[in-house]
């Protein structure tokens, strides 16, 4: 099954854009570069998460490349760690805003997952 059938990328992009605009409006004064780098790290982290989960859950054992999954997971982890640490070190304001933005971005990702109901027929 293709990844575009599992996640609504249009919904994800619209909600993420709204989140970024609101965050820059409220917290962006003197923090534009910091927020840009942090949100870039969050987005790379989540796109990597999507592909890691797809590789583990949806791909068959023959199609799965364990090295590719490991490298994507390492990219995911290192990008998130860099973004959060950079945000903590350079954000002029409450540091919990960085964590709150990440949690809100995870909620956006969860809302973008398409839900399917399966009709189970008894034999």
pLDDT tens digits for 49-93?
888 887 787 777 777 888 888 888 898 999 999 999 999 999 888
Q: How confident is the model at residue 15 (pLDDT cuts 50, 70, 90)?
A: very high
d(CA 108, CA 86): 22
Instruction: Give the torsion sign (CA, 91, 93, 99, 104).
Output: negative
CA distance 39 to 84: 10
For residue 16, give both structure tokens. 């993420």
Calculate the CA 114 to chain-centre distance: 15
| Whole-number pLDDT of residue 119 | 44
Query: What tokens were used for 34?
Result: 């910091």
69 in Cβ contact with 55 (< 8 Å): yes
Query: Contact, 29 vs 78, CB < 8 A?
Result: no
Please tell me which residue, 117 or 25, carries the higher pLDDT value: 25
Specify the pLDDT at position 123.
39
pLDDT: which is higher, 55 or 104: 104
Average pLDDT over the chain, rounded to whole?
A: 84
User: What's this model's pTM, rounded to 2 decimal places?
Assistant: 0.78
SS3 28: coil
Is the pLDDT at 12 greater than 70? The verdict is yes
Q: How confident is the model at residue 120, as a pLDDT?
A: 41
Confidence of residue 109 (pLDDT cuts 50, 70, 90): confident
């Amino acid at each position: 099954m293709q990844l575009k059938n599992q996640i609504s990328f249009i919904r994800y992009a619209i909600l993420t854009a709204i989140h970024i605009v609101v965050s820059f409006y409220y917290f962006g004064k003197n923090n534009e570069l910091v927020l840009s780098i942090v949100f870039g790290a969050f987005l790379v982290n989540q796109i990597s998460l999507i592909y890691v989960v797809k590789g583990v859950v949806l791909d068959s054992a023959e199609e799965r490349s364990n090295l590719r999954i490991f490298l994507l997971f390492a990219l995911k982890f290192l990008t998130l760690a860099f973004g959060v640490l950079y945000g903590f070190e350079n954000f002029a304001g409450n540091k919990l805003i960085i964590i709150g933005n990440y949690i809100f971005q995870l909620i956006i990702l969860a809302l973008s997952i398409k839900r399917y109901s399966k009709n189970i027929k008894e034999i």
